[in-house]
Structure 1
Amino acid sequence: MDSSSRFSSPSSSINSARGIFCSQSLNLRSISAIGYDMDYTLVHYNVKAWEGRAYHYCMENLKKLGFPVDGLTFDPDLIIRGLVIDKEKGNLVKADQFGYIKRAMHGTKMLSTRAVREIYGIELVDLRLEGRWVFLSTFFSMSEAVAYMQMVDILDDGVIPANLGPFDYKGLYKAMGVALVAAHVEGRLKSDIMSNPEQYVELDPELPFTLLDQKEAGKKLVLITNSDYHYTDKMMHYSFNRFLPGEMGWRDLFDIIVVSANKPEFFQMSHPMYELVTNEGLMRPCFKAQIGGLYSGGSANMVESSLNIHGDEILFIGDHIYTDVNQSKVHLQWRTALICRELEEENSALIHSRGCRESLLELINQKEVVCDIFNQLQLTLQRRSKKLNSQLKTVAATNMDNENLSQSMQKLLDVMQILDVKIAPMLEADGDLFNKRWGYLSRADLWDKSHLMRQIEKYADIYTSRVSNFLYYTPFMHFRSQEQNLAHDSHTNYCSRVDKFPSNGKLD
């Protein structure tokens, strides 16, 4: 893609789907090393194909165990990243930045707003309670979530054979998880992908040049992936080598390569490190990584020691909010960048829905004006009836008698009900262009950020849709966070809302 078709300069990128967005200021000049995850970071997969294949093998394993899964198909539109599985209730929920549940689905059926309130009330999602809540923070969660929600329907229908044992929703999640893990462990899934990478991998010609720029700028590049060497070599060779100059191969881009890293433990503790000495995967123990080396296992501390680079001199880029971003920041104080491909689709959806959102906000503002006037009249009536504070005047002071005051209030109620009829379906439809069930990735409703967005802003210094977006910022870019507005920063003239109240105190 020609850069001019995207944005002409970093200063204009803030409005671009391919921009890099900053939560905490980050100067790339202070970064000496850049670490990369591979899956869904340096190598992006066709989600429907990859996760659909994982789902297929999961269902095969469940069928072998005796579960009635015939006829079920993978539906990637059923979920979005950032949702949370409630294993106690068999629900999938979307929470806001504070953990309050805004939307929920039981099995594959969306619950009404009223049902959500009745089930959860003011209960908060607490991701520390891993026995109950499962945060879907990566594309790899899609096959898991779709399979589980469909299995909840089967459990509710009472068609699981009795010989498989009684199941509650937690037990069902465990059984489904075992089947999915087996799909990965058996090796058939990755064997399929290595045999036909063109069906699963989406190529990005700009990506290798992004890393070349960083390398030529003096950054040490490190690949840290949980995938094994054979899979890593196949995927990286397919994705990179065709675009690199001359005889250069993907391994030439990196100063250190670590496969089978076992993240997040890689960032938390030390494990034995092995050097891979042959293409067949022969390994020998080692105690220190060398520049140009290829290793299995080990720890982040070993990488720091080998490069003689520590803490905030290192930027780690990955797609998993916990395994990549949270852990490298919390345990090592590395700087962090999150890759979230859905930002491009969400940006497009927001652009196309701009007119509808503006109309919706205008209606909401109209209702607020009417509601403010109603509240002032109600307070006036209250003070008169109780004969308290009679000397005080409300903002919407009026000379109407009580009967006319009550009639005016009823008219205002009628107007609010008319506005509600218009507003309700527009609120329901907000976000439909991104996902009809769950709305936008970054928003829990019209106003509040989603729980995922809170996690991103808390742990990712910068975030963007793909690594190749760095190509248009230079390796010396100083990303600066935007000014953070506080509630009291916004100065609105409350009294202006009642300016339209008729001077004669009567409503037409």
Structure 2
Amino acid sequence: MDAYCTDGVTSEIRGINGYEDGQILASWASPEGRQNIDIGKQIFCNSAVNMKNIVAIGFDMDYTLAQYKPETFESLAYDGTVKKLVSDLGYPKELLEWSFDWTYMVRGLVLDKKRGNILKMDRHKYVKVAYHGFRLISKNEKVATYGNTFIRDAFDGPDYAHIDTLFSLAEAYLFAQLVDFKDSNPGKISEEKDYSCMYKDVRSAVDLCHRDGTLKKMVAKDPRKYINEDNLIAPMLKMLKTSGRAVFLVTNSAKPSFFHDENRANLFAVETESGKLVNTDNGTPLAQVGDPDIELPHQIPNMRCKVFQGGNVGHLHKLLHVGASSQVLYVGDHIYGDILRSKKVLGWRTMLVVPELEKEVKVLSSSRDTRKKLQLLRSERDQIEDQTHHLKWSLEHENLDAGEKEKISVKLDLLESQRARVRAAHQESQRIFHQKFHPVWGQLMKTGYQNSRFADQVERFACLYTSQVGNLGLHSPAKYYRPSEDFMPHDSDILS
């Protein structure tokens, strides 16, 4: 059901976390909540947000309020997709023997559907790491494919797919498996099915899995197997409501069109016990035609509907008494579906949930010495290269006698040897450092020294970002989130 709730979110989450009203305490207000917050649970700020000005806070459900366990939930989705490929789309039965490594893929990758490649790029869209299936593409091949065009590809066309949600990791892994299988087993997959066609089939199989309700039934049957318990969520929601904020949930496929005010979809109230839809006038239930004496529970004075289907963001603003879009904070996990639309289209303030961030910041925190070593090695490389360029210039452009040229040549040989050693040490140290984050793709938010494409999107579209939605409960509901000072290269060199 495409629905949004303007109240009652706490009771929805209680089924996952097992809280009763009497047990709910604001995490921030508790003695533990006033202590130093673990770095993995902090809220980071790109654009200032004064919570005193926020009157309504909305949440996505999947991977936001409901934190799925990738090792079980994504494996369930993967197995269902493989079965659909074999049974519905005619792929070889060998696929049924495959398994899913949920740790392999990361967000922020781009699939080159035409070539069968998986790419990680920096914020300037330069490809830094590339695999064909599971085969690492060499530097020369990578440059020849992605680095030599006069106008570089924007990677946004129909030939590319963006892995920006945790739901996409299984399909990316399956695509890589199919690429390897096709390359290694000529004839097993029809020649008419190129890499792009295989990706299209994977997407179709994924949609079939979600459409037939199998995944939902399995999760509903045993929620604890597929959803992580987060004891911070219920207290956080209670704290926000107690502080006077309206709390709402916008979930499922309602969101793409829901975020556009020109969408004229009718707004229906949902009778939660029966599932019955009731016509409304901007949220006020209307008596049913032909049954004028019907008594609706929501017609009782001062009672409002809590769950709705359809409608658009204009209806929501009226129901929440929102005077300006900037008074709404929306929390979600999807850069495009949740954060970009709600910020660029609506002007809402945004918070992105990045579960991977908890590990990322802890590794960074424990690697201060390594990062200093890398900075020193890079600085040493730069100094040696500067000296080398200066000496080469002297040899080529200055009038020197034979003795002077001989001395400079000896110095150059020594510097070239030194540069090779430092370069090798720097590259190896950097490789080991990035493998601490992920053995294949490295640091989520970086590619080398540049911010990754994913980090660039987080910085541009998320006012706030954090590892778990419950982290909101560790901070005052009146907190003023302020960004750190921006630094340009000349600033950081002077201040370091």
- Match for residue 336 of structure 2? 322
Residues 395-474 of structure 1 correspond to what in structure 2 (within 5 A)? Answer: 401-445=404-448, 447-474=449-476
**1:33 maps to which of 26, 46, 56:** 56
C-alpha distance in 2 between matches for 1:365 and 1:111 = 29
| Structure 1 residue 146: Cα displacement | 1.1
C-alpha distance in 1 between matches for 2:259 and 2:161 = 21
| Structure 1 residue 287: Cα displacement | 4.0
| Structure 1 residue 109: Cα displacement | 2.0
Residues 64 and 333 in structure 2, CA contact (< 8 A), matched pair in contact too: yes
Amino acid at match of 2:79: H
Residues 67 and 160 in structure 1, CA contact (< 8 A), matched pair in contact too: no
TM-score for the superposition, normalised by structure 2 = 0.84
Indicate yes or no: 2:164 matched with 1:155.
no
Which SS does the other structure have where 1:17 is aligned?
Answer: helix
- Match for residue 50 of structure 1? 73
> How many pairs does the alignment contain?
441
**2:126 maps to which of 87, 100, 103:** 100
Given the superposition, is the C-alpha separation of residues 489 and 356 from structure 1 closer, same or farther in structure 2, using an over 3 Å criterion?
closer
Deviations 1:165-204 (Å, cap 9, x if unpaired)? 6111111111111111101111111100000111011111
- Match for residue 139 of structure 1? 166
Deviations 1:305-335 (Å, cap 9, x if unpaired)? 2223131111100000111100011111011
- Match for residue 282 of structure 1? 276
C-alpha distance in 1 between matches for 2:250 and 2:280 = 17
- Match for residue 265 of structure 1? 257
| Structure 1 residue 373: Cα displacement | 1.4
Higher relative contact order (CA 8 A, sep 6+): 2
| Structure 1 residue 38: Cα displacement | 0.9
- Match for residue 13 of structure 2? none
Given the superposition, is the C-alpha separation of residues 42 and 358 from structure 1 closer, same or farther in structure 2, using an over 3 Å criterion?
same
Which SS does the other structure have where 1:218 is aligned?
Answer: coil
Indicate yes or no: 2:80 matched with 1:66.
no
Indicate yes or no: 2:142 matched with 1:116.
yes
**1:333 maps to which of 343, 347, 360:** 347
Deviations 1:83-139 (Å, cap 9, x if unpaired)? 11111211111110111111011112222333322221156563542x122111111
Residues 329 and 336 in structure 1, CA contact (< 8 A), matched pair in contact too: yes
Indicate yes or no: 2:315 matched with 1:302.
yes
Residues 6 and 18 in structure 1, CA contact (< 8 A), matched pair in contact too: no
Gaps of 5+ in 1: 227-260, 388-397, 494-508
C-alpha distance in 1 between matches for 2:414 and 2:34 = 51
C-alpha distance in 2 between matches for 1:350 and 1:176 = 36
Given the superposition, is the C-alpha separation of residues 75 and 287 from structure 1 closer, same or farther in structure 2, using an over 3 Å criterion?
farther
Amino acid at match of 1:210: M
| Structure 1 residue 66: Cα displacement | 2.6
| Structure 1 residue 159: Cα displacement | 4.3
Amino acid at match of 1:200: Y
Residues 326 and 459 in structure 1, CA contact (< 8 A), matched pair in contact too: yes
Residues 41 and 317 in structure 1, CA contact (< 8 A), matched pair in contact too: yes
Q: Percent identity?
A: 29
C-alpha distance in 2 between matches for 1:17 and 1:60 = 38
Residues 148-187 of structure 1 correspond to what in structure 2 (within 5 A)? Answer: 148-159=175-186, 161=188, 164=190, 166-187=192-213
Which SS does the other structure have where 2:439 is aligned?
Answer: coil
C-alpha distance in 2 between matches for 1:462 and 1:380 = 52
- Match for residue 363 of structure 1? 377
Which SS does the other structure have where 1:262 is aligned?
Answer: helix
Given the superposition, is the C-alpha separation of residues 378 and 302 from structure 1 closer, same or farther in structure 2, using an over 3 Å criterion?
same
C-alpha distance in 1 between matches for 2:271 and 2:403 = 92
Amino acid at match of 1:336: T
Residues 33 and 474 in structure 2, CA contact (< 8 A), matched pair in contact too: no
Amino acid at match of 1:67: Y
| Structure 1 residue 379: Cα displacement | 1.9
| Structure 1 residue 338: Cα displacement | 0.3
| Structure 1 residue 426: Cα displacement | 2.1
Which SS does the other structure have where 2:361 is aligned?
Answer: helix
- Match for residue 16 of structure 1? 39
Deviations 1:58-81 (Å, cap 9, x if unpaired)? 000111133121321111122101
Gaps of 5+ in 2: 1-26, 285-303
Deviations 1:269-311 (Å, cap 9, x if unpaired)? 4223222114242223334225442112221121012223131
| Structure 1 residue 368: Cα displacement | 1.8
Residues 108 and 153 in structure 1, CA contact (< 8 A), matched pair in contact too: yes
**RMSD of aligned alpha carbons:** 2.4
Residues 6 and 16 in structure 1, CA contact (< 8 A), matched pair in contact too: no
Residues 353 and 466 in structure 2, CA contact (< 8 A), matched pair in contact too: yes
C-alpha distance in 2 between matches for 1:423 and 1:465 = 31
Residues 272 and 307 in structure 2, CA contact (< 8 A), matched pair in contact too: no
Residues 101 and 125 in structure 1, CA contact (< 8 A), matched pair in contact too: no
| Structure 1 residue 207: Cα displacement | 1.1
- Match for residue 114 of structure 2? 88
- Match for residue 255 of structure 1? none
Residues 84 and 209 in structure 2, CA contact (< 8 A), matched pair in contact too: yes
Amino acid at match of 1:418: R
C-alpha distance in 2 between matches for 1:377 and 1:4 = 64
Residues 378 and 426 in structure 2, CA contact (< 8 A), matched pair in contact too: yes
**1:221 maps to which of 226, 236, 247:** 247
Amino acid at match of 1:91: N
Which SS does the other structure have where 1:286 is aligned?
Answer: strand
